[in-house]
Amino acid sequence: MPHTTEPRHLRTALIAGGLTVALAVGGATAWAADRFLVEHVEISDVSAYEAENSAIEPTTSATNPAGVVEGDTYSDGETTVTVSQVVTGSGDDTLTYYVADVVLSEATRLRSAFAKDQFGENITETTSGIAEDNDAVFAINGDYYGFRDTGIVIRNGVVYRDSPARAGLAFYADGTVQVYDETATSADQLLADGVWNTLSFGPALVDDGAVVAGIEDVEVDTNVGNHSIQGEQPRTAVGVIDDNHLVFVVVDGRSEGYSRGATLTELAQIMIDLGAETAYNLDGGGSSTMFFDGEVVNRPSNGGERGTSDVLYIAE
């Protein structure tokens, strides 16, 4: 049976539940607890840090700061978010997913936030909790940067990590979004080029309107329990339709008769059908969560929200 995104997040339960047995191995237990359970806070007040260091001035709504939600659409007169549910198939083949079509007034309206307003490893909070902390009207889970110490992490115009490892996604302040090779550049160069946010998970799903070849064989990480992300799974993805026009998809899964989950190829085709020219896979499994207008709209596969390290969001 292939590994999925779930085992790497089951690490807490597995390690904590096995500590008594594992005590016999001494140093290995201490390493595992430190690596997977203990919070390592590098920046304790991200809001203050970004206010002091952001290279790009964020944009807020000027027309109607409060915004209005009518039915399943949010609008502040400039930025709009329309959320819908899609159900296909029947019986054991039922697939249920949620789509957020987002048109931004300015690219910097899409922001990132960290769990507990802290940066580091193993710091987690639910997607809805992070969203509420930041007055978000819309949010999805991000790339779970805090599980690993690799990747380029730029958030809201600030560099947090520069450890290239994989194909990342870069959101520029001018509204363009591109998949890029982290190992071919640096965080400082990206920042100089106008990058506002980066994500480091993957794989890239869609390029130039076509499914990317080989996505069913990609390994995001090679650490504990995260060797592959294949099979029918809950998913989170972001797609680019045009400058400042994005689409976010959260696929539910692991629920018989409600939603089986999607393969990466199926997810790529969903993004193409929605008009995405570029699309990128984010953390999935129990992390896959969409928050809109004060509530979680999908059904996370754990039976409730699982803590994550970061979100993408739009504030009211």
- pLDDT band, very low/low/confident/very high, at 63 (cuts 50, 70, 90): very low
pLDDT of residue 228: 57
Distance CA 311, CA 139 (A): 6
Distance CA 93, CA 25 (A): 44
Q: pLDDT tens across 244-286, in order?
A: 999 999 999 999 999 999 999 999 999 999 999 999 999 999 9
Burial class (CB in 10 A: 0-12, 13-18, 19+), 252: buried
Which structure tokens are listed for 24?
């016999």
Percent of the chain with pLDDT over 70: 84
Residue 170 has pLDDT above 90, yes or no: yes
pLDDT of residue 219: 78
| Least trusted range by pLDDT, from 19-23, 36-40, 63-67, 231-235 | 19-23
Give me the residue spans of the domains in the chain: 5-315
